[in-house]
Amino acid sequence: MLKVRVMPCLTIKNKRLVKSVQFDEHRNIGSYVAAARVFNGRDVDEMVVLDLDAREQGIDPLILQEITKECFMPLAVGGGVKTLEDVQRLLDLGADKVVVNSGALARPELIQEASARFGAQCVVVSIDAKRIGETWEVFAEGGQRATGLEAVVWAKQAEGLGAGEIFLTSIDQDGMMEGYDTGLIEAISQAVRIPVIASGGAGKPEHAFAAVRAGASAVCAASVFQYTQVTPANFKEFLAKNGVDMRASN
């Protein structure tokens, strides 16, 4: 069984670190370089980096160059990934994994092609989902466009095409710090065999434990690590004390 990972997320817009609430109101909260430097010293297993501007402009190589100078943990990087060339570029710039979202929704074969060329371990399919009645709908373009796809159906398809992991974010819970959508996590985790990274809603270590109990293989958070004194190490300590098999601390 995989050991559970704790992962901070850096969301970048206009070359600044930002944080949203339900994928809206992106607030400038400082320097992504400074944040990367802090997390590098805080017992982090992996880190997710999302460049929101890359959807239209392509990834800015300077951003990754600055982050990789400060970080010595695995990085999963996303933003504007539409082609194999985009995947190759991110890997060349220092990403260990590449996060694909809207590009894969527009052309699902991208998952299969990337997995075949670079290995499934490099391909993380990001699913941004919002509850609609008793199910969850997948949204594209930074949560702005409804796709009509049901999240569980898309997760199964992504796995079948060769995705190595699912990066699952609840739009409803994003930035609320009230807890992950455990119903969503459970539905996706039961539908696929690949690891599910839970994102959206963490406000305290107990929320991470609830996500793991729902089936998450990793927990990703932003607001709680950037707005409070809670650190990734606090998450790991709480999870370990409650019997969760964690990666060894540095």
User: Under a CB-based contact definition with an 8 Å cutoff, are residues 67 and 32 in contact?
Assistant: yes
Percent of the chain whose pLDDT exceeds 70: 98
| pLDDT band, residue 124 (cuts 50/70/90) | very high
Q: Tokens 């052309």 label which residue?
A: 107
User: Residue 183: how many CB atoms within 10 A of its CB?
Assistant: 14
Name the helix (H) or strand (E) containing 128.
strand 123-132
Residue 100's DSSP bridge partners are 125
CA 181 centroid distance within chain: 15
pLDDT tens string 125-168: 999 999 999 999 999 999 999 999 999 999 999 999 999 999 99
pLDDT tens string 157-195: 999 999 999 999 999 999 999 999 999 999 999 999 999
Give me the mean pLDDT over the 209-224 stretch. 97
Instruction: Show the domains of the chain with their CATH numbers.
Output: 5-241 (3.20.20.70)
Cα separation, 166 vs 154, in Å, equals 10
CA distances, 143 to each of 20, 140, 192, 207, 232 (Å): 11, 5, 23, 23, 26
Q: What is the pTM of this model?
A: 0.96
